[in-house]
Amino acid sequence: MTFPLFEYGAFGDTTALAVAVVIGVAFGWALERAGLGFAPKLAGQFLLTDFTVFKVLFTAVVTAMLGVFWLGRLGVLDLARVYVPETFIVPQLVGGVIFGIGFFVVGLCPGTACVAAASGRLDGLVAVAGMFAGVLLAGLLFDGLAGVYARTPWGSVTLAQWLDVPYGVVVAAVVVIALVGFAGLERWERRV
Amino acid sequence: MARRPPASYANPYVAGVALGLVLLSAFLVMGRGLGASGAFATSAAGVVSTIAPEQAAASGLFAKYLDDDGPWVDWLLFELTGVVIGGFLSAWFAGRWVWRVQGGRSLPAARRLSWAAGGGALMGLGAVLARGCTSGQALTGGALLSVGSWVFMIAAFAGGYLAMPVLRRLWR
Amino acid sequence: MKWPQVLAAVALTGGLLAPFAGSPYRAAHAALDVSAVAEAVAAERDHVTAIELAEWIRSRTPGLRILDVGEGEYLLPGAEHVPIASLPAVAHTLRPIDRIVVYSSGGAHGAQAWVLMRALGFTDVYSLQGGVDAWLSEVMSPSISPTATRDERQAFEPVAELSRYFGGQPVVADPAPGGTAAGRLPGPPPTTASRIAAIRRRGC
């Protein structure tokens, strides 16, 4: 049996949509359990009072990254068939900063805003509406964005390919950086 | 509305591993990762195409979502529906479901809602430019070592830290 | 605080071993099920004849992908040129549920490409027996002997029709000595006049 199952014809498009819901339920559950549906907690990351966002995000990235690397190496996962989001340096840099500003102001991102709304938080619901409005406007005024939007398309490229180093080297570097970050935060939090 | 004393949140590292395993299972089962903002884009495309089809087709952003089976048959849209369900179930069973406005303690509710709307719009714009948000880019692209995703991740954190000294009163 | 330490230790181990493990991509470490492959070759499930391939193309078999892994001088209908050296890199753009046919001018590289594709995990893959040469002599200009029986002529009709579908031209001629024109591209298709002249020469 080779993974990804969908790429190897294990099931069709309709089942894929059912799979989407199931995965989404697990995703939403995990986010809420971590407290990421609670806006003040996420804002705390930038207020330097609560580093849950950093800990959860980078633990998740390291977990999935190690899983992908080792299952790929063992031949269980056909890594070439996993879609790597494409790189557009300038729009992702500019969009990232704009997103980050909004992220601090709201204390929620698109996914966690849905979790907050689902937890009864009216501000989460309003945030979702605001995000929808933002995307809607961006779409209607898209020609105005075209100057930034289409710049520097690099295609699907990994840090390993870009730096021309073995994939495993980047994996090791990310793990070390994450663990050093976690250790540093733990010490910082204890000094209070 | 909360039924029992709210349970405490999970250990962030344990929660992170759980989240990472959910992401990994998406890679293994579907060959793709998670996301959220894409569902917003496809919904917006769907709404516009219902009200003003020529506008939708003319938009470089919306047009992409109007082919294949249309904007409403979209993997991310179904996934985000699941997120709502999962978030609700977790909050409910943890005793954390409560109808309220959750903002800075000294920020009046109306202000909180205005800022949430405006900040949300900013995030919508940012996510369109970046082709994703924290779920699709930072989390998914980060785990797959995509260069642009790491750029987005660093830029988003930078944006938040730049905004903090200016707007920290929102959270007092 | 026990769990986080355990997780950190696992992560550190997994991370620090990674640089020594090689590439996580399949193409770099493809493994071959030797028994299954040997069995497929013995049972002749590894190749397809030119006529069979022509039928697949004409009936628009879903997911059919035809790859020229040789020089690419003569592309079969719908074929793409993928030099054998770049096959591992291109393979991940092919879906595992596709039906893939690989070929070269004679058939040797095609057969080797078949083994590579099996190693890369494709199961519905075949090499074209006889390569381009077989395509040209069996599909583009299939021949029927002037001394063929009525039954043989009837059996030949669908082959002739298939040939005409692809713009080929059936010929009335004895096959060249030693079987099909392996390793030699045939000359221009015979004209009506020359065919009739050949029949006159040989008698009815």
B58: closest CA of chain A, how far (Å): 9
Task: Please name the member of B20, B62, B148 whose beta carbon is closest to the beta carbon of A59.
Answer: B20
- Decide if A63 and B154 are in contact by the 8 Å CB cutoff: no
- Decide if C19 and A62 are in contact by the 8 Å CB cutoff: no
Q: Note whether C53 and C125 are within 8 A (CB).
A: no
Considering the entire predicted model, what is its pTM? Answer: 0.86
Q: Note whether A128 and B123 are within 8 A (CB).
A: no
Q: Where are the alpha helices (DSSP H) in chain A?
A: 13-33, 39-47, 52-73, 89-106, 110-118, 122-140, 142-149, 159-163, 167-190
Task: Please name the member of B115, B120, B139 whose beta carbon is closest to the beta carbon of A128.
Answer: B120
Task: Please name the member of A59, A130, A135 whose beta carbon is closest to the beta carbon of B16.
Answer: A59
Task: Please name the member of C4, C20, C95 whose beta carbon is closest to the beta carbon of A168.
Answer: C20
CB atoms within 10 A of CB C123: 13
Torsion of CA A64, A18, B74, A123, to 10 degrees: -70
Instruction: Say yes or no: B10 contacts chain C, CB-CB below 8 A.
Output: no
List the structure tokens of C165: 């579908």
* Predicted confidence (pLDDT) per residue in B33-72, tens digit: 999 999 999 999 999 999 999 999 999 999 999 988 899 9
Chains with ≥3 CB–CB distances under 8 Å to A: B, C
Interatomic CA distance for residues C68 and C89, integer angstroms: 15
Instruction: Say yes or no: B33 contacts chain A, CB-CB below 8 A.
Output: yes
DSSP-derived 3-state class of residue B125: helix
- Decide if C29 and A168 are in contact by the 8 Å CB cutoff: no
Residue with structure tokens 């709201």? A106
Instruction: Say yes or no: B14 contacts chain C, CB-CB below 8 A.
Output: yes
Q: Note whether A148 and A78 are within 8 A (CB).
A: no
Chains with ≥3 CB–CB distances under 8 Å to B: A, C
Q: Among all residues of chain A, which has the CA nearest to that of C28?
A: A73
* Opening angle at CA A157, ends A152 and A162, nearest 5: 90
B2: closest CA of chain A, how far (Å): 10
Residues of B in contact with C4 (CB under 8 A): 11, 13-14
Pairing of strands A153-155, A87-88: antiparallel
Chains with ≥3 CB–CB distances under 8 Å to C: A, B
Q: Note whether B37 and B127 are within 8 A (CB).
A: yes
Residue spans of chain B under pLDDT 50: 1-2
pLDDT, mean over chain A: 96
- Decide if B31 and A83 are in contact by the 8 Å CB cutoff: yes
Residues of A in contact with C25 (CB under 8 A): 72, 79-80, 167
C28: closest CA of chain A, how far (Å): 9
- Decide if A179 and C27 are in contact by the 8 Å CB cutoff: no
Task: Please name the member of A6, A82, A91 whose beta carbon is closest to the beta carbon of B130.
Answer: A91
DSSP character at residue C128: E
* Residue of A11, A78, A82 best to disrupt the C interface, most CBs of C under 10 A: A78
CA torsion sign for C34, C35, C36, C39 is positive
Pairing of strands C171-172, C64-68: unpaired
Q: Note whether C137 and C180 are within 8 A (CB).
A: yes
Direct distance between the N- and C-terminal alpha carbons of chain A, in angstroms, rounded to an integer = 51
Q: Among all residues of chain C, which has the CA nearest to that of B18?
A: C7
- pLDDT higher than threshold 80 for residue A192: no
**Quick one: what percent of chain A has pLDDT higher than 70?**
99
Kindly state the average pLDDT of the residues A84-111. Answer: 98
More confident call, A71 vs B7: A71
Q: Note whether C80 and C93 are within 8 A (CB).
A: no
**Local confidence pLDDT in tens for the 204 residues of chain C:** 588 899 999 999 999 999 999 999 988 888 888 999 999 999 999 999 999 999 999 999 999 999 999 988 889 999 999 999 999 888 888 988 899 999 999 888 999 999 999 998 899 999 999 999 999 999 999 998 888 889 988 899 999 999 999 998 898 887 655 444 433 344 455 555 555 566 566 655
How far is residue B76 from each of residues A36, A82, B18, B34, measured CA to CA in Å? 20, 16, 20, 8
DSSP-derived 3-state class of residue C127: strand
Interatomic CA distance for residues C103 and C49, integer angstroms: 11
**Quick one: what percent of chain B has pLDDT higher than 70?**
97
Burial A119-139 (b: 16+ CB within 10 A, else e): bbbbbbbbbbbbbbbbbbbbb
Q: Note whether C70 and C116 are within 8 A (CB).
A: no
More confident call, A143 vs C175: A143
pLDDT for position C183? 36
Kindly state the average pLDDT of the residues A134-148. Answer: 95
* Predicted confidence (pLDDT) per residue in A22-62, tens digit: 999 999 999 999 999 999 999 999 999 999 999 999 999 99
- Decide if A7 and C20 are in contact by the 8 Å CB cutoff: no
Residues of A in contact with C18 (CB under 8 A): 66, 69-70, 167-169, 171-172, 175
* Residue of C1, C7, C95 best to disrupt the B interface, most CBs of B under 10 A: C7
**Beta strand segments in chain A, E:** 87-88, 153-155
CA torsion sign for B13, A31, A11, C24 is negative
Task: Please name the member of A62, A75, A175 whose beta carbon is closest to the beta carbon of C26.
Answer: A75
Q: Among all residues of chain A, which has the CA nearest to that of C11?
A: A175
How far is residue A57 from each of residues B18, B55, B138, measured CA to CA in Å? 11, 37, 8
CB atoms within 10 A of CB B73: 14
pLDDT for position B79? 98
Task: Please name the member of A70, A73, A179 whose beta carbon is closest to the beta carbon of C12.
Answer: A179
**Which of C114, B100, B81 has its CA nearest to residue A23?**
B81
C11: closest CA of chain A, how far (Å): 7
Instruction: Say yes or no: B145 contacts chain C, CB-CB below 8 A.
Output: no
C15: closest CA of chain A, how far (Å): 4
